Structure 1
Amino acid sequence: MTEARGSAGPNGETHARHAPGTPCWVSLMVHGLATTQEFYGALFGWEFRPGPQQLGPYARALLDGAEVAGIGQLPPDRHLPIAWTPYLASDDVDLTAETVRLCGGTVGVGPLDAEEAGRLVIGSDPSGAVFGVWQAAAHGGTAIAGVPGTPAWHELLTFETASVAKFYETVFDYEEEPVISADFDYVTLLIDGRPVAGIHGVGNYLPRDRGPHWMTYFEVADTDESLARITDLGGHVLRPAHDSEHGRVATVADPEGARFCLVQSPR
């Protein structure tokens, strides 16, 4: 994780257009849409309104009227891992999809239009980690950042960074900033010199039931208070709160098992 918090400032001002390659949206597909909305509504103060329905029932989460994330419902017969998925911005999602394939990745859904909102692809990198690509039209993506209840950072957990970082660099034209360390395998991905995401090679510490996957960090006002609330709401604490150079961080899961991190930024 790095100090970057996206393209909005510390007071939560809204985004302009998301530069290609920038994480611009995060979405979760679950079996219990209503109960999941209740969980995140109580945890982050989100409210919900209907979004595009191409992939089934779907709602957008709003914080003080600004869109921050999406939650959709899986068909009953689809038993996919329940996970938050980041969407990376693209000016041409069809071209990006073709580049993903040429670079050894897989396109599982799309390209397809999401009503008037935009055009999307859901794919995976060569290690199997799932991500989305979004070409904005009426829906620009996450509209606020830097305040509690908003996505703060996106990090890929994988076996090792070298090969998969090359994939993302080629597809999205990132610059790389590796950590020079014998025992810490980490690469920060930058656009125009600005950190936008990270890749963390964790080797055998990667959860066997998940494989490589993207992890979303959500900003909170108080990590410890949020952990107590998560437990009360039926979620689970996977890694207790600890202090880091980026703030107080914890890893948790919602009632359906979707993992995410909480971060209370340094004051």
Structure 2
Amino acid sequence: MKLDKPVTGGPCWTELGTSDLEAAKRFYAELFGWRAQTDPRQEAGGYTVAHLGDAAVAALSPLYQESQPVAWNVSFAVADADAAAEQVTAAGGTVLLGPMDVFDVGRFTVAMDPTGAVFQMWQARAFPGAGVFNAPGSLGWVELLTRGPERAVDFYTTVFGWSVNSSERYTQWGLGGEDFGGMVRMDEKFPPEVPPHWLPYFAAADVDATAAAATEAGGTVLMEPASVPDGPRIAVLRDPQGAVFGVYPAGAEG
């Protein structure tokens, strides 16, 4: 991700919904050195912000609904959550939750694109989003995995105004000339029960060492560390509760 701060239309935050909050805190503290701080207010429902130093980098929370999967979710910054929700609907997507206020920190919407991938939108007030990007242990890239890439391009360029940089191997999303994410077509290698989804990638000082550390901490390596042709070395991991995320070298964004 070449973006170094939240900007309108770009990824600004990532949240984990997990079945075991305390276990997730331990796993990610061991893997990335995160310091977890849980909001003590009852109405916050256990929402926990992970920090690197003083900077907020991600959130972890219990599952709030029985139908909610254990998964990482990606949020995109918007200037007006209500207007963005209307744009989602007009472009063929679905608003699943909100828009709704979250205390005094912002306004929040959960939506689904026409291909079935769920994402979130965040209108910042007191909280703009992640305080650091691309440093080891922080958000570094976001990737859409979908079975309908052409429809996805139409949708996201309409809703967020993203640029599209496509090659034979990969499609990248960008804003103002700065690429921040990509898209993968889900083929027969993906089991049919795996839905389209957004996958966050966290920057790592050493991808191979991070994959090994995830295994030692009780996680699983889904895709062994590998060097992408003309690209960085990446790995895809799964935490002990089942949430999937990627890692790639800090400094190799874009």
* TM over 0.5, shorter chain: yes
- Is the contact made by 1:165 and 1:199 (CA closer than 8 Å) also made in structure 2? no
User: Which amino acid is the alignment partner of residue 54 of structure 2?
Assistant: G
- Is the contact made by 2:115 and 2:148 (CA closer than 8 Å) also made in structure 1? no
- Secondary structure, in 3 states, of the residue corresponding to 1:252? strand
TM-score by length of 1: 0.88
CA change 1:210–1:55 in 2 (3 A) is farther
- Aligned equivalents of 1:249, 1:53: Cα separation in 2: 39
Q: Work out whether 1:31 is the aligned partner of 2:19.
A: yes
- Is the contact made by 1:144 and 1:150 (CA closer than 8 Å) also made in structure 2? yes
CA change 1:53–1:44 in 2 (3 A) is farther
- Aligned equivalents of 2:246, 2:121: Cα separation in 1: 22
- Aligned equivalents of 2:220, 2:111: Cα separation in 1: 28
Q: Work out whether 1:58 is the aligned partner of 2:47.
A: yes
- Aligned equivalents of 2:191, 2:120: Cα separation in 1: 22
- Aligned equivalents of 1:249, 1:69: Cα separation in 2: 20
CA change 1:103–1:230 in 2 (3 A) is same
Offset, 1:81: 2.1
TM-score by length of 2: 0.92
Q: What's the counterpart of residue 99 of structure 1?
A: 87
Gaps of 5+ in 2: none
- Is the contact made by 1:158 and 1:206 (CA closer than 8 Å) also made in structure 2? no
Q: What's the counterpart of residue 258 of structure 1?
A: 243
Correspondence 1:1-267 to 2 at 5 A: 5-8=1-4, 15=5, 18-51=6-39, 56-75=45-64, 78-179=66-167, 181=168, 184=169, 186-244=170-228, 245-265=230-250
Offset, 1:206: 3.0
Offset, 1:147: 1.4
Offset, 1:53: 6.6
CA change 1:55–1:204 in 2 (3 A) is farther
Offset, 1:97: 0.6
- Aligned equivalents of 1:137, 1:53: Cα separation in 2: 21
- Is the contact made by 2:72 and 2:199 (CA closer than 8 Å) also made in structure 1? yes
Runs of 4+ that moved beyond 4 A: 51-55
User: Which amino acid is the alignment partner of residue 223 of structure 1?
Assistant: V
Query: Percent identity of the aligned residues?
Result: 35
User: Which amino acid is the alignment partner of residue 254 of structure 1?
Assistant: D
- Secondary structure, in 3 states, of the residue corresponding to 1:203? coil
User: Which amino acid is the alignment partner of residue 197 of structure 1?
Assistant: G
Offset, 1:175: 1.8
User: Which amino acid is the alignment partner of residue 250 of structure 1?
Assistant: A
- Aligned equivalents of 1:91, 1:207: Cα separation in 2: 37
Gaps of 5+ in 1: 9-14
